[in-house]
């Protein structure tokens, strides 16, 4: 059985733009588990407000690079880690350019590849996912940390993420090609978005394991 860790933010957690949280079978990691079937174990590790590497003074304990080693240790051995972060890095108070945000994603990649999983345990393959775009009206949403510059930053992330993925031998997916945020809150996916993203992730994962058989971390 292949073990997959989905490490992300509120769109991995499944925040519902209508309020509350989507049901497990609707959230993209849960939907992914259904699509992949019995040969895969999908672990959902999403948290609202999570960044790649930034400490948020308004929302503490959301720094991805600090929690990632805990998740790796808790769930090892892993065959694949899917990283879907970067949206919250676009918040105004981080003053981070798209290139800087991609450098944050790079640190996550390097952490996964260099982590000590134990004797004879290989590092998992990484699927680096550039996040969906932020809606143009986000500055008028309830999420005050985002401003008028945030949408453009989110739209500029994909090529920088692709560069990181290519440099470190990661799989890559641009989530914005599959899904978009709800018009209700400009940030979070509706059920249709979760379904489409899960299907896109499934295709990448199945192709990788079909091409590589039992090999891991290559």
Could you tell me if residue 218 is inside a domain? no
Taking alpha carbons only, the member of 158, 12, 62, 66 closest to residue 4 is 12
pLDDT of residue 212: 87
pLDDT of residue 217: 39
Tokens of 77: 């051995």
Residues 26, 18 contacting (CB under 8 angstroms): no
Could you tell me if residue 21 is inside a domain? yes
- The pairing of strands 171-174 and 2-8 is unpaired
Q: 176-213 pLDDT, tens per residue?
A: 999 999 999 999 999 999 999 999 999 999 999 998 86
Q: 125-148 pLDDT, tens per residue?
A: 999 999 999 999 999 999 999 999
Domain residue limits at 124: 2-212
Give the residues across from 128 on adjacent strands. 83, 172
Could you tell me if residue 169 is inside a domain? yes
- What mean pLDDT is reported for the chain? 96
Task: Compute how many other C-beta atoms are within 10 angstroms of the C-beta atom of residue 72.
Answer: 21
CATH of the domain at 14: 3.40.50.1110
Answer yes or no: is pLDDT of 215 > 70: no
Number of domains in the chain: 1
């Amino acid at each position: 059985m292949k073990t997959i860790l989905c490490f992300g933010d509120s769109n991995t957690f499944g925040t519902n733009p209508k309020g509350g949280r989507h049901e497990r079978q609707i959230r993209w990691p849960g939907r992914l588990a259904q699509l992949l079937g019995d040969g895969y174990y999908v672990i959902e590790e999403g948290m609202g407000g999570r960044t790649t590497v930034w400490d948020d003074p308004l929302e503490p304990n959301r720094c991805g690079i600090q929690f990632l080693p805990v998740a790796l240790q808790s769930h090892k051995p892993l065959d694949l880690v899917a990283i879907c972060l970067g949206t919250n890095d676009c918040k105004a108070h981080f003053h981070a350019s798209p290139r800087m945000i991609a450098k944050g994603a790079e640190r996550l990649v390097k952490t996964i590849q260099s982590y000590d999983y134990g004797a004879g345990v290989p590092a998992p393959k990484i699927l680096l996912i550039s996040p969906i775009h932020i809606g143009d009206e986000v500055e008028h949403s309830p999420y005050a940390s985002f401003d008028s510059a945030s949408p453009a930053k989110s739209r500029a992330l994909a090529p920088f993420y692709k560069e990181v993925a290519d440099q470190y031998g990661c799989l890559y997916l641009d989530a914005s090609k599959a899904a978009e945020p709800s018009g209700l809150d400009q940030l979070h996916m509706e059920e249709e978005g979760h379904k489409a993203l899960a299907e896109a992730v499934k295709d990448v994962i199945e192709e990788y394991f079909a091409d590589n058989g039992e090999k891991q971390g290559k």
